[in-house]
Each structure stands twice: as structure tokens, then as C-alpha cells.
Amino acid sequence: MVNSFEFHSPTKIYFGNGAENRTGAILRDFGATSVLLVYGGNSARKSGLLDLIRYSLKEQNLSVTELGGVVPNPRVNKVYEGISAGLRTHVDFVLAIGGGSCIDTAKAIAYGIAEADRDVWELFAHKRKATACLPVGSVLTIAAAGSESSNGCVITNEATGEKRAYDDDLARPKFAVMNPAYTMSLPDFQTESGCVDIMMHTMERYFTNSGNMEITDAIAEGLLRTVMKNAVILHQNPVNYDARAEVMWAGSLAHNDLTCCGNGGGDFMSHQLEHELGGMFDVTHGAGLAAIWPSWARYVYRDCMTRFVKFARNVMDITIEGSDEEIAEAGICAMENFYHSIGMPVNIRELGIAPTEGQIEEMADRCRTACGEHRGSARRLSVEDMIQIYKNAR
């Protein structure tokens, strides 16, 4: 049965070689006068992108405040630092230069500046909902998170080890500037982790028991096949512009909610389980997803058999005859083989960590708290289920 849905994707995309040169003019078009630049480490400097953006903003006589040093699994203390800087200089727009970590940090800062009398972490702890947010834009350098066109952001509280998401259309970016050439300098591990993240954003919405639409399935399946094909190309030839472009555009389409239209919203338990793994062990998000997904898939597929069989046939090209269970298992095995082919792990052990029984129980309990009432669509998971998935993934 097809579910009713609303689709809202207001982010304006500027895609292609040289798009970054228009950033200052784009900000002016969106009403910016004072901009907070949020970026990470040295990559934006080494590529020359940061200087280029500075020049573009200067050309438009925009006031600029800078906040560097954002790290993967972005931290709430950096968010607080950005809020203080933005309030001090009266910024009215937040621009991220980088990938999902920078964009998520920018979104959290934008919430914090707009509601300066409240602690922004309350949003991620789900103690309240935002009522305001400064406008956000991005110049994307990593194809992965899809945060450049999504309503979500994920922040880690380093004091507690909690990694939490907050979703609200208030923070959907006004625009995203996307030049695939700026992703070419990424290490292979980061590129392929990004490809896994893009795929998982699609798969989380695909494996549901709450209704589906054929057109949405076709978009999702085509997106998955495209990312897999180009992930292999980039593993062998990291400077292939066309492959970079395919993956970069797929990243936005995978997480702007297009692939959940009519299917009830998705599962997202692999993400929830990985968030706790990332919060405790600071693992790369995409690699963590690759390590969790096979265990999750084998735990839930009997409760979502039709979807897993369709996935095996239409995405993983499984042609064997046999029972639905055999076909579904073959599809899961094929995905594991694909992950290995691009240098990704298929279990927690291959991430180089070994959670204790106590740590697994702690991650599962935190996952239950973070999920609230939502604990999966392919199969609704209890804390005991989460513990077993973690154990099976070791």
C-alpha cells in the first residue's frame, strides 16, 4: 500500500566546474551581509578553495568571521565556539566549506545563534524543538552525508560520548555549491566511506514494511547501482571527474527524502546503531555503517523478505533460483563482497576495535534512548535485539 507523503526540497544546487566562483554573489542573492565560514582542517587551504571563497565574499563586500578546526564526528564544543563567534560579530548567514561534519556543525551553530538564550544541545537530546535557525549554505568538498540538501544534522557530545541527530526543515540549506573536482584529493578510504554512507541513506529508506511505490523503488535501485559502479571506478582511478560527479549528485539525492516518498519514512536502525559505535569509538561513519549493516540485515531480513529479495534481484543482480531465504542471503553476501572490493569492512573487528560486553550493552541502551519510539521498520528492535546485532557484528 502506498503511503501519503509530503516532499520538500528547497535547496538550490549550483553544480559543476567553477561553480564555487559564484559563492559571494549567491550569498548576496540570499540576503547575506555578515557570514560565518565553517571549515575543517588543511584540505580546504591546500586545495586553494578557502582562499577562493574568501576572495569571492570580499568581492561582494561581505563581512566574514571564520571558524576552522571542525573534525569528523563533529563536536558540540566546536558548535558552542561557533555560536559565540557568530553572536560576537552579528553574523546573519552560516556557510560551510567541506563535507557533512562541517555542514552539520554549521546547522547546529545556526540553531544556536538564532536561539541564543537556549542550550543548542537540548535539540540533540530531544528535550525541545527549534523555533528559529539562521540560513545555512555550503560549498561541498566530500560526497557522503547528503547534509547539503537534508534537514538533519548529527553532533557528538564529547563529554558524554553521545552522538545524536536532530532533524528539522528550519536547517535545510538555502543552497549548495558542488564542484566534483574538489573531491579528487580525498584519500580512498574517505571516498569509499562516503559511497557507503550515500548507499545506506538509500537502503535505510528501501528496507521497510510500511508500503512502497514502484517509481520510488526504481529511483532508489538506480541510485544504488550507480554509486556502486562509480565507487569501483574511483577505487581504481580517484581522479575520474565523471565518476566523482555521479557520486556527488547521488549523495544529495540519497538524503533529500526523495527515496522515501510513499514508503513511510524508512528504517534507519543501522544508522542509529552506528551512531553509538561512532560516539564511543570515533570511527569513520561510512565504514561503521558497512561494519554494522550485514549483521543488521541478517537479523531482520526474514521479517522484511519481499524487500530483501527485490534488493537481491534488482540491485545486487542475484540470478540464482532458490527459496526467498536463499536469494535474500545471496544478496547480503554480494553486498559484503562489494564492501570488501572497495576496501570497506563488513564487521566491527575489521574496524580494528573490540567492544566488551559492557560496552555493547551501553551502546544498545544509548541507542534505545536516542531512538525513542522509533526502532525500525524492517523489524522493530528491542534493546536485546540491538545487543545481539552488535555481538553478531563483532
In this prediction, residue 182 carries a pLDDT of 94
Assess contact for 61 and 29: CB atoms under 8 A. Answer: no
Residue 211 domain-assigned (yes or no): yes
Residue 3 domain-assigned (yes or no): no
Residue 5 domain-assigned (yes or no): no
Residue range 253-300, pLDDT digits in tens: 999 999 999 887 789 999 999 999 999 999 999 999 999 999 999 999
* C-alpha cell read off for 214: 514502484
In this prediction, residue 283 carries a pLDDT of 95
Residue 385 domain-assigned (yes or no): yes
**Residue 46 reports pLDDT greater than 90:** no
Q: How many CA atoms lie within 13 A of 188 on its CB side?
A: 12
In this prediction, residue 374 carries a pLDDT of 73
- Cross-strand partners of 13: 176
Q: Average pLDDT, stretch 79-97?
A: 98
* C-alpha cell read off for 392: 553478531
Confidence class of residue 34 from pLDDT cuts 50, 70 and 90? very high
Is the same domain home to 123 and 194?
no
From CA 54, how far away is CA 74, in angstroms rounded? Answer: 23
Is the same domain home to 234 and 151?
no
From CA 122, how far away is CA 214, in angstroms rounded? Answer: 39
Assess contact for 109 and 86: CB atoms under 8 A. Answer: yes
Confidence class of residue 211 from pLDDT cuts 50, 70 and 90? confident
User: Total domain count for the chain?
Assistant: 2
Confidence class of residue 123 from pLDDT cuts 50, 70 and 90? very high
Residue 123: give its domain's CATH number: 3.40.50.1970
Residue 7 domain-assigned (yes or no): no
In this prediction, residue 47 carries a pLDDT of 85
Starting at the edge strand found earlier in the chain, the sheet holding 136-140 runs: 12-15, 175-178, 136-140, 93-98, 34-39, 63-67
**Residue 45 reports pLDDT greater than 90:** no
Residue type, 205: R
Residue range 377-389, pLDDT digits in tens: 999 999 999 999 9
Confidence class of residue 25 from pLDDT cuts 50, 70 and 90? very high
In this prediction, residue 69 carries a pLDDT of 95
Residue 253: give its domain's CATH number: 1.20.1090.10
Q: Considering the chain, what percentage of its residues have pLDDT values greater than 90?
A: 92
Residue range 135-164, pLDDT digits in tens: 999 999 999 999 999 999 999 999 998 999
Confidence class of residue 37 from pLDDT cuts 50, 70 and 90? very high
Assess contact for 97 and 139: CB atoms under 8 A. Answer: yes
From CA 218, how far away is CA 231, in angstroms rounded? Answer: 20
CA distances from 9 to 6, 173, 257, 364 (A): 10, 10, 8, 33
Q: Average pLDDT, stretch 108-136?
A: 97
How high is the mean pLDDT of the chain? 95
Domain boundary among 153, 182, 211: 182
In this prediction, residue 373 carries a pLDDT of 66
- In this structure, what are the phi and psi dihedrals at residue 359, rounded to the nearest 5 degrees? -65, -40
Confidence class of residue 372 from pLDDT cuts 50, 70 and 90? confident
Q: Which of 94-108, 111-125, 252-266 has the lowest mean pLDDT?
A: 252-266
Is the same domain home to 171 and 234?
no
In this prediction, residue 41 carries a pLDDT of 78
Domain with 26, as residue range(s), is: 12-182
* C-alpha cell read off for 75: 563536536
Q: Average pLDDT, stretch 29-54?
A: 92
Express the helix, strand and coil content of the chain in percent, nearest 5 each.
55, 10, 35
From CA 183, how far away is CA 190, in angstroms rounded? Answer: 10
In this prediction, residue 320 carries a pLDDT of 94
Residue range 49-86, pLDDT digits in tens: 999 999 999 999 999 999 999 999 999 999 999 999 99
Domain boundary among 182, 207, 240: 182
Nearest to 183 by CA among 135, 132, 234: 234
What 3-state class would DSSP assign to 37? Answer: strand
Domain boundary among 145, 166, 182: 182
Is the same domain home to 16 and 159?
yes
**Residue 1 reports pLDDT greater than 80:** no
Decide which of 260 and 195 is more confident: 195
